[in-house]
Amino acid sequence: MKQKQNRLVVLNLYMKKHFSKLLINLIIALFLEVIVFNITSYRVLLGNFEKKEFTNLEFVQYDDEKVILKIDNLDIEVGTVKLNFDKNLTEVSEYRIGFSDETSSRFRNLNSKQYIPNNEKSKYMPVYLSGKVNGILITVNSEIYDNQELTKVTINEKIPFEFNIARFLIIVGILLFIYLLKNEKCINEEYSNRNFKQEIVLLGVLAIFFVILGFINQNSIEPDNLKIYNKKFVNAIYKGQLYLDDKPSEKFLNLVNPYDDLERSTLQRGKDYLWDTAYYNGKFYVYFGILPLLVFFLPYYAITKSYLDISIVVFILSIFILILIKEILLKIVKRYFPKISFKFVLFSLIIICSGSLVLYANGMSRIYELAIISGLYCVLQGIYFILKSIETDEKKYFNIFLGALFLSLSVACRPTDLFASILIVPYLIKLLLENLKIFKNKKMPLIKLVLAVAIPYVTVGILLMCYNYARFENPLEFGAKYQLTIVNMMSLKNRIFAVPTGIVANLFSIPNFIPDFPFFTNHNKLLEFYGYYYIENMIGGLFIIAPICFMNFLVFKVNKKMENKELKIIINSLIIVGTLTAILSIMMAGSNQRYLIDYAWMLILSGILIFLVLYNNLKTNEAKNILKKIFGIITVFMFLIGVLCGIVSEKENMKNYFPETYYKTKYTICFWE
C-alpha cells in the first residue's frame, strides 16, 4: 500500500512539473490545426466576395477524355470555386480550373485537383487571383459531363472547417516527442537494458512503425496475373507436383526461342505462357523460394481450403523484422557501447527501421516482395541467435544451431541471401580455433560447434539441391536461368561491365524530387551504358535516401582508432558483405528499389556503428554537439523518406488502386490545396 502511494506521489510531482509545458504543446497543436491547417476555410471571410451559383454552363470543348465548360461575364472577385457533384459519383475524379482576371484576357490554367467522395473539402478550390475575374473554365472528365454528374458550380462559397483528428494527434505526438527529447531524463541519460522507461520509449517507436506499416500494407494490392505463388503454386504442391498446371499454348511452343521477350511480344501473358516463371522441358515452374509456401500458404490452404493473401504474410514478417532490428541493435549497443546516450539508441532504431525499406516493400506486396522480406526475416533471425550465443555461454551451441538454421533457410526464400552467412564466418573461425586449442582436454565443444553449423547447412543444402534437381536436373539451378522475363537470362553476358553503372544507380542515384505530394517519384535514370542493363522504378540510391551510409567511407580511419577487435570485425564484415551483395545483385538482376532491401540494413548498421565510434573518440563537447545535431537531422530525413517510399511504392500502387486513401492523405498533408 505504501509503495503504491509513493508511486502516486512521484506521478503527481511529474505531472506538476511538466503540466504547463505539455499544455503549451497542446495549445500549439490546436493553433496549427484550427488556424494554419484550416487556412483555406477563412478564404472568403477576408474581403468582399460575392457568392454566385451556376447550373447551366457554356459548352466549350469536348473530346473522349475531357470536357471544358465556361462561366463568362462574372466581373467579380473570386476566392473559392466549388463543384457540386451528383451523389452517384463514387470514384475519385480530377478537375481543373482556368481563369481570366485583370492580368490577362486569355485564360490561364491552375493546377488540377481531385474530387474525393465523402470528402467535402475536395469539392472546393481556393484561388488567389488578381482583381475581378472575367470568366472561369472548368475541365472535368467526359464521363462526368455525359452522365450529368456535375450539377452546379458555386463561386465564393465558404470552404467548410474540418478538424482532422488524425492530423491533430500526429502533431501532438511530434511536439510531445520533441519535448521529451529535450526534457525527459531517461532519454538524455545512458542506455541501460534495465531502464523500464527507455524500453517503453523503444516499444513506442516500434508501435508507430507498426501503425504506419499497417496503413501502407492495407492499401497494397497484388494484381491477379501475379497470383501464381499463393494460388497456382499452392495447388501444384498440394497435389504433390513441382510444376504448375498451366500448359504453354501452341503459339508459345512454336517459338524458336521462348526465352526471347521480343519473340513473345505477340503472345498473351497468362494465356499463352506465365510471366516470370521458369520454363523447362515444356512445363512452368515457380523459381521463387519455396519456404514461405511451406510455412504459410500451404498449411493455410490445407486447413481452410482458401488462399492466403501475400500482403498478409509480408505484413506479419515485416513486424518480426522490425522487432529483430531492435533486438539486434540493442545487443550490439549493450556489448560494444555500454556508456552511449539513449538518444543515440533511439535515433539509431528509427534510422534502421526507416532505411531498411520494409515500409517500401509493404507498399506493393507481391511475390517479389514476399521473397525478399521472407529472406530478410530469416537472415535477421539467424543473426539474432548468433549474437545471443556471443553474449552468453548458456545454450551457446544451441543458439549457434538456430542461427545457422535460419541463415541456411534464407536461401530457400532467396538464393542470394546465402552471402549473408559470410557475416558469421569470423565468429565461427574464432570459436573453431579456441576449441582446437583445448581439443585434447575437451572434445565436446568442437564436436558441438561442428554439428551446430553442419547439420542445418548440410540438411537444408541437400534438400534444396534435391528440389532443384527434381525440377531442372541440376542441383545448383534455382530456375533463374530459365526465367521468362524481359531478357533472355540464358544468353545474358558481360554483366561485370555493368557493375559501375549499377553501383551509381543502386547506391548514389538522386531521387526525382517534385514540388507536390509525395514529393518524389520513381525514375529509370541511368548512366550511359552501351549494353543491356535492367533498371525499373528506382526512387533513389541507398546512400542518398540513407545518408548515414556515407559514414562507411570512414572505415579505414575508424579501424585505426578502434581497440575492440570484435567490433572492428563486425563493422568490416557488414561493409564487405553488404557491398558484395550489392555487386552480385547488380550482376544477377539489375536496379530496382526492392533489390536494395537485401543489403540496406547491413550498410546502414555499419554506418551507425562507425558514427558511434567516431563520436566516442571526440574530445570536445562542441564537436559532439555538432555530431548529435547531424545524427538528429539524418534521423528525421530518413524517417520521412522511409514513410514516403512506402506511399510511392514500386508502381505508385496506392495512387492507382486506392486513390481515395491516397488523395485524402495528400490533402491532409498539403493543407493549403
The predicted-structure confidence for 578-596, as pLDDT tens digits, reads as follows 999 999 999 888 899 999 9
Angle at 219 between CA 215 and CA 225, to 5 degrees: 150
Neighbouring C-alpha atoms within 13 Å toward the C-beta of 259: 16
Is 652 in a helix, a strand, or coil? coil
Angle of helix 565-588 relative to helix 597-617, nearest 10 degrees, comes to 150
Q: Which domains, and CATH codes, for the chain?
A: 52-155 (2.60.120), 184-221+328-363+493-673 (no CATH), 223-308+366-485 (no CATH)
Residue 243 DSSP one-character state: S
Cβ-contact 598, 416 below 8 angstroms: yes
From residue 569, alpha-carbon distances to 44, 61, 105, 599 in Å are 65, 70, 71, 17
Q: How far apart are CA 140 and CA 144, in angstroms?
A: 7
Q: What per-residue confidence (pLDDT) applies to 407?
A: 97
Write the DSSP symbol of residue 223.
Answer: -
d(CA 345, CA 350): 9
| All residues at 6 or more sequence positions from 463 whose CB lies less than 8 Å from its CB, including other chains | none
Helix (H) or strand (E) segment spanning residue 202: helix 196-217
Distance CA 350, CA 201 (A): 12
pLDDT at 219: 80
Write the CB contacts of 437 (distance below 8 Å, at least 6 apart in sequence).
none
Q: Which three cell numbers stand for residue 23?
A: 499544455
Cell numbers that stand for 377 in this block: 526475416
- State how far Cα 412 lies from the chain centre: 23
- Count Cβ neighbours within 10 Å for each residue of 86-125 and write b for 16 or more, e otherwise: eeebeebbebbbbbbbeeeeebeebeebbbbeeeebbbbb
Cis preceding-peptide flag for 547 (omega within 30 of 0): no
Residue recorded with cell 462526368? 144
Q: Distance between CA 186 and CA 343 in Å, rounded?
A: 9
Low-confidence ranges of the chain (pLDDT < 50): 10
pTM for this entry: 0.91
What is the rounded CA–CA span in Å between residue 28 and residue 31? 5
Whether a cis peptide bond, with omega within 30° of 0, leads into 518 is: yes
Pairing of strands 520-521, 512-513: antiparallel
H-only helix segments in 392-492: 396-409, 425-437, 444-472
Give me the pLDDT at residue 673, please. 85
